[in-house]
Structure 1
Amino acid sequence: MAKPVFVLLHGAWHGPSCWHRVIAELEQAGYKAVAPALPSSGSTPPTPDWSKDVEIIHQTVSDLVKRQDVVVVTHSFSGMTGGTALEGLDKDTCMSRGLKGGVIRLIYITAFLVPEGFQHSPEGTRDNMIPEMITSLDSGIVTVKPEDVKGMFYQDLDDDTVAELAKELRPQSFGAFWSTTTHAAWRHVPTTYILTTGDRPTTVVAAQYLVDSAKASGPHKIDNVIKVDTGHSPFISRPEWTAKTLIEEANRSLQLE
């Protein structure tokens, strides 16, 4: 069996570079990975919604499944866009269309695992946003102050490393938080959830709530929840562990209770 390719989706305020450490580890193990740039993060002018993100994710995966199996990894915000973008790309549907590959597993890293019809914030508001999210309706962006970066994203990294990482962060489109999901890929694709227990305590509680709610909401393929004592971004603080875990999950068969 040919090895699947990983599609790595960055979260809000980030770009593809956040995955570089993990990509190096995956390549060393003989796996290919791609990390598309998602326009809601860093575009000038900011995007009015997340439709361009969804379009790029869908197109990236659609091109790959013509030839090979794919594992999609989402982090934080991209759980919403990734879950929406994969409609019709699960392995069974791809096989019915005569394609060689399909999405064989979804892996959420403390990401928004949400149902169809989910909206983070009502349009025109900053509802459900934490105080550290600095919002500007006039400019259409959401930013994070340098002094809040460690507490938001990199709880288990030293201050000097955090200061360097903060320089890479980008403004996030405000409108992306007002978009609404239209598909829940975790109902159709075997799904692993990685819950980072060294994250913000409120984030840990919220992530567990999302997993429990999803499982209780109806049909699903969430078959593994992995808890790891890292901050919000284990692909940066523990790239070796992250890559090893991604490979293990990619090669594991669906095991629903």
Structure 2
Amino acid sequence: MQNSTEIMSSKPEFVIVPGAWHGPESFKPTSDLLSKEGYTSHGITLPSVGANPQVQSFTPDAEATKAVLDKVLSSGKDVVLIYHSYGGVVGSEALAEYVKEGPKPGWGKVKRLVYVCAFALPEGSSLMAALQFKPLPWFILDKPDIVEAANPQEILYNDISPQSLVDELISKIQTHSYPTFSSQLTVAPWKTIPSTYILCEKDNAIPIFAQEGMVAAAKAMAPNAFDTVERVDASHSPFISQPEWLAEKLVKAAQ
């Protein structure tokens, strides 16, 4: 019989890829709950967030994600990747070698991908292509190669309270390197790796119809894609507004 230490060590570990403008600390309300359940989480710090000078493609973000992923897998641990928003693009690209060549002998495996209101796109696409090459109305593009979010309370945190928490969250938002939105994906890992999509119905950044459209398009290309779809009455940031609900779904994804 396994003792408690052996059971905990056998659990997969989470690798969290945040969205644009955000650092991994934004996931803390949820990752703290995962920790209480005995799970280890690794948050990715994206080079495109708060960059100076700006990065000119999503490659640094994908490489930063791959470096953490490789470190965990090489330790023999299985991994569940969590993608939020833009993180779905660079997190997918980080798996290019894994998808094309397969897991390395003796390494752990990627157990599941979880797209939390994240971009799930096919090969050859980009975030800007998904937006029909038009910046969203709430993009602020006043500085060269930099995109900022107008009215983040309405767009990103519209179901979060109290106001003091919203103000704190807004104070931590950083600039984002706009050229990363034009980089094209070379892989679509959701075609072959078991994947979950978290649909967020109150999302004002990626509206629910756009999320549903990406899932439908994925299933049209690969019928087994997104074998699990969860729906929550939440904004673009359920890891802050509904951490208990999301942590429960993430634990389910890891089993």
- Is TM (by shorter chain) over 0.5? yes
SS in 2 for 1:211: helix
Q: Confirm or deny: 8 A CA contact 1:18 1:236 kept in the other structure.
A: yes
Deviation track 1:57-96 (CA, whole Å, cap 9, x = no partner) reads 1111111112110000000011111111112436x921xx
Cα distance 1:15–1:205, how it changes in 2: closer, same or farther (>3 A)? same
1:207 corresponds in structure 2 to 211
Aligned partners of 1:201 and 1:119: how far apart in 2?
Answer: 17
Shift of 1:126: 9.5
The runs of at least 4 aligned residues of structure 1 exceeding 4 Å deviation read none
Alignment partner of 1:119 is 2:115: no
Q: Confirm or deny: 8 A CA contact 1:89 1:102 kept in the other structure.
A: no
Cα distance 1:205–1:47, how it changes in 2: closer, same or farther (>3 A)? same
Cα distance 1:7–1:219, how it changes in 2: closer, same or farther (>3 A)? same
Aligned partners of 1:249 and 1:175: how far apart in 2?
Answer: 32
Q: Which of 92, 105, 110 is matched with 1:98 structurally?
A: 105
Deviation track 1:130-183 (CA, whole Å, cap 9, x = no partner) reads 1111013x52100123xx112211111123321211000000101111111111
Aligned partners of 1:170 and 1:132: how far apart in 2?
Answer: 15
Q: Percent identity?
A: 34
Aligned partners of 1:36 and 1:202: how far apart in 2?
Answer: 21
Cα distance 1:238–1:93, how it changes in 2: closer, same or farther (>3 A)? same
Q: How does 1:148-163 map to 2 (within 5 A)?
A: 148-158=151-161, 159-163=163-167
- The AA in structure 2 aligned to 1:163 is D
Scaled by the length of structure 1, the TM-score of the pair is 0.89
Question: Structure 2, unaligned stretches of length 5 or more?
Answer: 1-6
Q: Confirm or deny: 8 A CA contact 2:80 2:253 kept in the other structure.
A: no
Shift of 1:201: 8.5
Q: Which of 218, 222, 226 is matched with 2:226 structurally?
A: 222
Aligned partners of 2:58 and 2:217: how far apart in 1?
Answer: 24
Alignment partner of 1:133 is 2:136: no
SS in 2 for 1:235: helix
Scaled by the length of structure 2, the TM-score of the pair is 0.90
RMSD of aligned alpha carbons: 2.0
Q: Confirm or deny: 8 A CA contact 2:206 2:236 kept in the other structure.
A: no
Aligned partners of 1:185 and 1:178: how far apart in 2?
Answer: 19
Q: How does 1:128-207 map to 2 (within 5 A)?
A: 128-136=134-142, 138-145=143-150, 148-158=151-161, 159-200=163-204, 203-207=207-211
Question: Structure 1, unaligned stretches of length 5 or more?
Answer: 252-257
